A and B are shown apart, each in its own frame.
Chain A
Amino acid sequence: MNKVMKASDMVASLSDGMTIGIGGWGPRRKPMALIREILRSELKDLTIVAYGGADVGMLCAAGKVKKVIFAFVSLDFIPLEPYFRQARQQGAIETLEIDEGMMLLGLRAAAWGCPFIPTQVGLGTDVLNVNPELKVVDSPYDEKEWLAMPALTLDAALIHVDRADSRGVCQIKGADHYMDDWFARAAKKAYVSCDELVDSDYFTPEQEARFVFWERSQTTGVIPIVGGAHPSSCSPHYGFDVPHFKEYAASAKEGGFASYADKYIHGKTEIDYQKLVGGLESIKQLPLAVY
């Protein structure tokens, strides 16, 4: 089965009001080229589930978002994501603010077909008070109450990986694949952009197959876009683009998102974009972050 498609095919398969999960973590391995394609589209009223970075900030700034399900939205070295911050402070979006681990449980519940997974995480905090949709349940086995973390079923997941073959075998060679396997499993459809499209026999050696974290049956579409995580990182190939994120953050203070989007996104192809940010070769030279 050949699952290779274009980013525009991916967007055409989405519709208004969908719940979309986005892989990666903060400024790390985000499917930013796919996000840019959504920003160029008419899609709206989306519910976004993410360990959020500029993906969430940009979608909020562009008015694509009805609701964000999040534990944080951050660019790491710029702790507060500027456009998410604006959206929250304008009261422009609905939220489900949960703990990082609760999000993992919600994705697992969706992946496993459970309505919820019980946890003590969130009890005793305002996570319960500000989110009336979260319920507690009594245990049949002890006297305690448990927070019933609901399944976060995704209409679609968007993920960026290092390598994929045309059948949807996806490899993440960076040190952490974050929760991307659970995003893929929690989604009805998972669209994966990749830095490199490879032949299937690439995965034959055990040391390559070991870095494939879900079965190809979980992958709906493969979208080859080298450099497609920029300005987020795709470790070990390239780090996140600190000057670009600084310019992005500065636009929130002066010019607004429209100025950023006019310069980099609207009316631009991904090739145009990469030229505007210094070219693919310079993306590939971006240094990895030191933690």
Chain B
Amino acid sequence: MSEFATDYSLAELLICANAAAYDNDGEILVTGIGVLPRIAASLAMKTSNTDIMMTDSEAWLLSEPNPVGNRPDDFIQQNETWMGFSRIFDNVWSGCRHITGGPTQMDRFGQSNISCLGGTYQQPKVQMLGARGFPGNSISHANSFLIPSHNTRVFVEGECDMVCTIGYNPARLPKGHQLSDIDLRMVLTNLCVMDFGGPDYQIRVVSLHPGVTIDEVIENTGFELCIPDIIPETVAPTEAQLAVIAQLDPQNLRSRQLKDDPPGVRS
């Protein structure tokens, strides 16, 4: 076991915490949407779960994750099969996948939104991406979330403005389905790690990042969280993990993902 690092960024802490989400997944396709989740999936594939499959985010399944950012001209990516977008759905609908995405809103049921905000649905105040593949991901396979801005505009008091993903909401449960069919795993934020392990799948605080208080998490969440009596600190990256991360992200794109690239240990 490598030594725990003492000097690391919040981005690196989140990458390692996100990678841990895949520890027990076995041989499945992992998709990390965005730079930090992508590095996290790659880190897991290189270290804690070498059975993971990843794509090049374009059209090929890889036996070695690609580094993020521009690659040298002589770089040869390690393809193992074609995996165009239409074939992704064959995998998604088989359930053999775990995704980490970054929605703009999440509510107490774990429902999330990347489509539009405010106004009416016919005339939203802010049009975003659209539902993309989120509805299908959420009902088909495991889902984690990396949301680096933990505040009450994101973790909303009511339901999301446009619910793009199925969550643990009994009122929306389709006929013949069970809440236990839904597989929401981990929610990582700039303050803490959460899961759905509270009573009736209530969102539960699992660990606090170094220097963060539970009061700060409560204050910045629009709904009631399950707060265990004892909450550990989020596990620091090891030196070995940081070394692998540096290889996977040689241009240090991770330092540009969070505002001001804060340190992992708050002073």
Contacts and interface: CB of A to CB of B under 8 A. Distances in A.
Interface residues on A, range: 35 or more
A176 B59 contact: yes
A89 B125 contact: yes
B202 to A, nearest CB: 18
Interface string B154-172: 0000000011111101001
A88 B136 CA distance: 23
Interface in A49-89: 70-74, 79-80, 84-85, 88-89
Interface stretch (A7-15, A99-107, A156-164, A195-203): A99-107
A71 B128 CA distance: 11
B131 A98 contact: yes
B166 A125 contact: yes
Contacts of A238: none
A123 B127 contact: no
Contacts of B70: 290
Nearest to A143: B176
Contact of A100 (B56, B57, B82, B133): B133
Given A72-B129, A143-B176, A127 B124 contact: no
A179 interface: yes
B129 A120 contact: no
A179 B133 CA distance: 14
A228 B92 CA distance: 33
Given A72-B130, A99-B133, A175-B59, A125 B163 contact: yes
A142 B132 contact: no
Contact of B132 (A100, A120, A138, A177): A100
A206 interface: no
A90 B126 CA distance: 10
B69 A290 contact: yes
Contacts of A120: 139-140, 174
Interface in B172-226: 172-177, 182
A71 B56 CA distance: 22
B173 to A, nearest CB: 7
B4 interface: no
Interface string A111-149: 000000001111111110110000010100011110000
Given A72-B132, A88-B124, A144-B177, A124 B139 contact: yes
B85 A145 contact: no
Contact of A99 (B82, B131, B182): B131
B58 interface: yes
Interface in B49-93: 56-60, 69-71, 82, 84-86, 89, 92-93
B94 interface: no
Contacts of B167: 124
B123 interface: yes
B89 A70 contact: no
A291 B56 contact: yes
Interface stretch (B114-122, B229-237, B238-246): B114-122
Given A120-B139, A124-B169, A291 B133 contact: no
Contact of B164 (A84, A101, A102, A125): A125
A72 B132 CA distance: 5
A119 B92 CA distance: 12
A25 interface: yes
Given A79-B129, A123-B174, A290-B71, A97 B139 contact: no
A205 interface: no
B103 interface: no
Contacts of B166: 123-125
Contacts of B60: 175
B39 to A, nearest CB: 14
Nearest to B128: A80
Nearest to A90: B123
Interface of A: 25, 70-74, 79-80, 84-85, 88-91, 97-102, 104, 119-127, 129-130, 136, 138, 142-145, 175-179, 182, 290-291
23 contacts: A72-B132, A88-B127, A89-B119, A89-B124, A90-B123, A91-B123, A98-B135, A99-B131, A101-B92, A102-B135, A104-B89, A123-B139, A123-B177, A124-B167, A124-B182, A125-B135, A125-B166, A138-B175, A144-B174, A175-B60, A176-B58, A178-B84, A291-B56
Interface of B: 56-60, 69-71, 82, 84-86, 89, 92-93, 111, 115-116, 119-136, 138-140, 162-167, 169, 172-177, 182
Given A89-B126, A124-B167, A175-B59, 9 more contacts: A84-B127, A88-B123, A102-B136, A122-B136, A123-B139, A124-B166, A125-B163, A176-B59, A177-B84
Query: What 4 pairs between A and B have smallest CB-CB spacing?
Result: A91-B123, A124-B166, A144-B176, A175-B59
